[in-house]
Structure 1
Amino acid sequence: MKQCSNRSELLRRVQETGFACVDMNLYLDNHPEDKNAINVYNSLVNDFAQARCAYESRYGPLTNFGYAPSQYPWQWICQPWPWDREFNA
């Protein structure tokens, strides 16, 4: 996985690998016996998990439950959120 140094680069990596996982998942829905595609998918899932963990360990959770524990104080309310315009400026 490519090293990312700042928040926007980390978020972009999460988005890119997440999109690639969904794309491969759709392909595999129609080609379930494509062993090479399954290997690519598994590699992308690993890259996505690493990117998500790297982002969340530095900047807090990307979702409000299920993927990352919160530190004190409750991090979900910290701003800016990834979808806020101020974050992308």
Structure 2
Amino acid sequence: MNYETDLRAVNEWSFLATELQLYLDTHPDDARALAALKNALSERQAAVSTFEQAHGALTVDGLLSARRYNWVERPFPFE
């Protein structure tokens, strides 16, 4: 995959997770929505992992598995 496709996957799963979170703020007993949120968060985590393996850290949290500090060596996600 390419940079734009990988980043789009992260953004799509992030958006869905945020929407589900907002829904659950007003419907906390909706078990299906909670299951959907858990799935969206899992898929987002996988998308972030895929992105970071191919393109480097997406956020500073992505440096947890880095062998050295290389945050400034790659273009930032918004560049």
Using the size of structure 2 for normalisation, the TM-score is 0.88
Unaligned runs of 5+ in 1: 85-89
| Runs of 4+ with deviation above 4 angstroms | none
Name the SS of the counterpart of 1:77 in structure 2.
Answer: helix
- Spell out, residue by residue over 1:42-61, the C-alpha distance to the aligned partner (whole angstroms, 9 max, x if none): 11011100000000111111
Provide the residue aligned with 2:74 in structure 1. 79
Larger fraction in helix: 2
- Spell out, residue by residue over 1:9-46, the C-alpha distance to the aligned partner (whole angstroms, 9 max, x if none): 00010011011101100100110000110111111011
CA distance in 2: counterparts of 1:61 and 1:17, whole angstroms = 17
What's the RMSD between the two structures over aligned residues?
Answer: 1.6
Matches for 1:1-89 after TM superposition, within 5 Å: 5-65=1-61, 68-72=64-68, 74-84=69-79
User: How many residue pairs were aligned?
Assistant: 79
Q: Identity rate of aligned residues, in percent?
A: 29
